[in-house]
Structure 1
Amino acid sequence: METAKRARPRYDYGERRPPPELPSFPPEIIREILLRLPAKSIGRFRCVSKLFRSLSSDPAFAKTHLDLSLRNDAFPSGRTRLVVNYRHNFYTVGFDSIVDACDGIRDLGAVEIPQSPVMSNLVSSYDQDDLWIEVVGSWNGLVCTINEEADVFLFNLTTGESKRIPSVLELLNSGSKRGKINRFGFGFDAITDDYKFVALVTGDVLNASVYSLKTDSWKWVGDLRYVFDDNDDDGLLVNGAIHWVARCREDGRRVVVAFDPTTELFKDMALPDQADDCPHAHRGFLLNKLNGRLCMIYTCRKHDDFWVMNEHGVASSWVRVRISVSYDFMKPLCSVRNEEETLMQVNGKLVLYNFRNDTSTSLVLKAVQLHGYFEANTYIESLISPNSYGRA
């Protein structure tokens, strides 16, 4: 019986079969899809096509993406990260790893960040062991750092972009004011969409100078009636204002000083009535935040309590919180599980504290052993570029 001949293929045997056509979406659909992805994933897609690169590099797209991610509570792991500064190296820890710690996994997965410009600028003139780099603050994914030469950089740790801020020393050397840099602060003006860096300069009086990322310039904003004697900590950004603990020059009264980046004005707020009852001769205070609220922590000897301001600017809303951990240094970092548990830096360790059960668990970073001093802060992942702001 004769076998039926197979039909000849429509292509020659020496040719490749044409690939199936890829689905094609309008640019506006691609944009909507990308807007709903984590910032790090979008960054990886930049090499896929010119359209992806164009969208992810667009400042308007970055702002829309940030706004959507901040409003999307379903994906906190795509936003919050921990950055640890240890021996001049930076490590980041994802939110998922912190959540896992709540389930008994004590090791936090850490990723080292390549050496930053703020570090490399110093390598030629300093011994590595003598270097220090400090995180002044972070907002909308931009992390502000400073080194001992007063070089200030804005980083986006997600995209790897950075920008050097002109030194305030140039302003001091070119003007009539003279003095020593005393404190720093980093904040955001939501009205003008501008990132601002504040330098407090001690001379005959305390002066304040503000740098604007939009204008890429410094300006003096006035003389202040405060003096600092507690510590050399930088300003804390809470509720839109940058805060320090200081004393009023006229009467020596200790207050919380708040700088508004929008109005560029200073105001002071009262400390808790009982805070100065601390028995230590050299008592001091450090400002921090817990679940978005201003809190004040002792920096003298051992304490098992701290203060939280439940309503910003209202002195009567200060509440004392007692914990089962005695500390010389304590810094709340971020909360998980509906604020039941809080990641904190306590006495040179990372600790997960459960406020409901009043218990704590020590955590470790994978791939790095923390011995001695380290600095931990939080930031959010975003596509905001420090180089997308020009002169207004």
Structure 2
Amino acid sequence: MERKEKKKRKDYKGRQESRSTPSFPIDLTSEILLRLPEKSVARFRCVSKLWSSITTDPYFIDLFETRSPRPSLLLCVRKDDNMFVSSIPQHTQETLHKSSNKSFSSSQPKSSYHMKFPEDDDGFRPTESVHGLICFQESLKPVVWNPSKKEFLTLPKPRKSWIDITVFLGYDPTEGKHKVMCIPCNRTSDVCRVLTLGSPQESWRTVKTNQKHRSSFNTTGRCIKGVIYYKAYIYHTRLWVIMSFDVRSEKFHMIPFPLEARKNLLLNYEGRLSFVDDTNPRRLLILEDAEKNKWSKHEFLSHLSRDVITERSLHLKGFTNAGELVYVASLFNNSSYILFCDPARNSFRRFEFKGISKDESWLNNEGEGLFMSPLHIFLNHTESQISL
């Protein structure tokens, strides 16, 4: 096996050196490119013929896939206390060397399984996937879920007097710690409860929020570079704002809402908080400076994807790490699909649900394809070996 690998390396190196003799070593160039994000590799292919030949070589693509684990899209469908979970590739080999606006479809997941939930509760309001973990609440208790290890950790109720709660999950990249943060739902408060996962006691502590505010039933958060962002309503005003919670310092700040995006979904665009512009659905509003409340505008959505989205009644869920927009229906139906749109190339690809439901009779509703249930999508999910 080792001899075969050395031969592949020799053949690969020989092919590259026969095409050009640069002053910069081929092996070092390849090693640098292997460490870059997939979107950068695709963009740098245009630098030179040599870089194009390196990044489109099958041996390079195999190495890239092996050494750079790709985030996946996690699809979850729940019925009663059953949960069907499927891991879908966000990036395919076509993404590395795709250069036209050709569309393509696929229907084969990386892996699929179904599992029993801790409790049969209809109040499933999950957070996004944050560094491999997902959080939701069951019977007013936060539950942490590691899909990779199929493990659940049910936490104690944050505060007995709270009738309902909104749960957020954050990750501090500096200290490598997850934290669960809870506030009362539909009730004004100036405190939250925070619990650090993996700490010796794993007990809740009270943290002041600086501003009295409340969340609504459908409030969701977005954790970006160690900061949780979420929408909130300020006490005794008619003002909707963006609240930010620094996971490491546990400090809150208030960011005024851009007028064009008061009702839209919080998005993570290339590591920055963003919204779709209400007045122009092809425009993205991007937070450049939270302290100065500075926002930039970016045209991002093609006419091609808009036509397809309108026809199929799909909803925007966010961006992949490679910059693709992800659209999906709110309810699961095995005749529908997930749409990935690449705004830079004005192209799209789709993942068909029939590939994940053919072996699950309860998803198929005994083969009739009529089963409809809330569909939950978790973008940029990474494998985690954390034990709960």
Cα separation, 2, equivalents of 1:230 and 1:134: 12
Residues 183/321 of structure 1: CA separation in 2 closer, same or farther (3 Å cut): farther
3-state SS of 2:294 partner: helix
Say if 2:137 is the partner of 1:137.
no
2:130/2:171 contact within 8 Å kept: yes
C-alpha change, 1:179 and 1:151, in structure 2 (3 Å) is closer
The alpha-carbon distance between structure 1 residues 100 and 135, as it changes in their structure 2 partners (threshold 3 A), is farther
Q: Output the CA distance in 2 between the equivalents of 1:386 and 1:293.
A: 30
For the structure 1 residues 320 and 150, does the alpha-carbon distance in structure 2 shift closer, same or farther, using more than 3 Å as the test? farther
RMSD of equivalent CA atoms: 3.6
1:122 to 107, 119, 122: 119
State the distance in 1 between where 2:283 and 2:235 align: 26
Cα drift, residue 147 of structure 1: 4.2
1:33-86 CA-to-partner distances (Å, cap 9, x unmatched) read xxxxxxxxxxxxxxxxxxxxxxxxxxxxxxxxxxxxx96643486230110111
Matched, 1:311 2:300: no
Instruction: Give the superposition deviation at 1:200.
Output: 0.6
- State, as a whole percentage, how many aligned pairs show the same letter: 13
| SS of alignment partner, residue 204 of structure 2 | strand
State the Cα distance separating 1:183 from its structure 2 match.
1.8
Counting only pairs closer than 5 Å after superposition, residues 1-392 of structure 1 correspond to structure 2 as 73=37, 74-75=64-65, 78-87=69-78, 88-97=83-92, 99=94, 104-110=103-109, 111-116=111-116, 119=117, 121-123=118-120, 131=122, 133-141=124-132, 143-158=133-148, 160=149, 162-167=151-156, 169=157, 171-173=158-160, 178-202=161-185, 203=187, 205-215=189-199, 216-228=202-214, 232-275=218-261, 284-297=263-276, 304-305=281-282, 307-313=284-290, 314-319=292-297, 321=299, 323=301, 324=303, 325=306, 326=310, 329-336=315-322, 339=323, 341-345=324-328, 349-365=337-353, 366-368=355-357, 371=372, 373-387=374-388
* Paired residues of 1:89 and 1:115 also in contact (CA < 8 A): yes
Which blocks of at least 5 consecutive residues in structure 1 are unaligned?
Answer: 1-22, 24-69, 277-283, 388-392
Alpha-carbon separation, structure 1, partners of 2:189 and 2:147: 37
SS of alignment partner, residue 262 of structure 1: coil
Q: CA deviation at 1:350?
A: 1.5
Gaps of 5+ in 2: 3-33, 38-63, 332-336, 358-368
Residues 1:268 and 1:371: Cα distance change in structure 2 (over 3 Å): same
Highest RCO, 1 vs 2 (Cα 8 Å, sep ≥ 6): 1
Deviation at 1:363, TM superposition (A): 3.2
Alignment correspondent of 1:61 = none
TM-score normalised by L of structure 2: 0.63
Question: Post-superposition shift, 1:371?
Answer: 4.7
Aligned residues: 291
> Per the alignment, in what secondary structure is the counterpart of residue 281 of structure 2?
strand
- Is the Cα contact below 8 Å between 2:270 and 2:321 reproduced in 1? yes
Tell me if the contact between 1:272 and 1:318 (Cα under 8 Å) persists in the aligned partners: no
CA distance in 2, matches of 1:98, 1:242: 33
The amino acid across from 1:122 in the alignment is E
**Per-residue deviation, 1:264:** 0.7
TM-aligned CA deviation for residue 107 of structure 1: 1.9
Structure 1 pair 132–100 and aligned structure 2 pair: CA distance change class (3 A):
farther
Q: Give the SS at the match of 1:367.
A: helix
Moved more, 264-273 or 148-157: 148-157
The CA distance in 2 between the partners of 1:271 and 1:98, in whole Å, is 39
The one-character-per-residue Cα deviations of 1:96-135 (angstroms, maximum 9, x if unpaired) are 458579764412322323315xx1x224xx6xxxx45443
Matches of 1:384 and 1:360 in 2, distance apart?
A: 33
Pair 198,182 (structure 1): closer, same or farther in 2 beyond 3 Å? same
Shift of 1:245: 1.2
Amino acid at match of 2:326: L
CA contact (8 A) 1:205 1:224 kept: no
Q: Which residue of 2 aligns with 1:36?
A: none
Q: Give 1:367's aligned amino acid.
A: I
Deviations 1:156-198 (A, max 9, x none): 333x15241423x2x423xxxx233342210112343321001
Residues 156/328 of structure 1: CA separation in 2 closer, same or farther (3 Å cut):
closer
SS of the counterpart of 2:119? helix
Q: Which amino acid aligns with 1:81?
A: S
TM-fit CA distance, 1:380:
4.2
Letter of the 2:272 partner, please give it.
R
* More divergent stretch after superposition (74-83 vs 93-102): 93-102
The Cα shift of 1:153 comes to 3.5
Letter in 1 for 2:294: S
Q: Secondary structure at the match of 2:385?
A: coil
Instruction: Report the structure number with the largest CA radius of gyration.
Output: 1
Question: CA distance change for structure 1 residues 165 and 191 in 2, over 3 Å: closer, same or farther?
Answer: farther
CA contact (8 A) 1:259 1:266 kept: yes
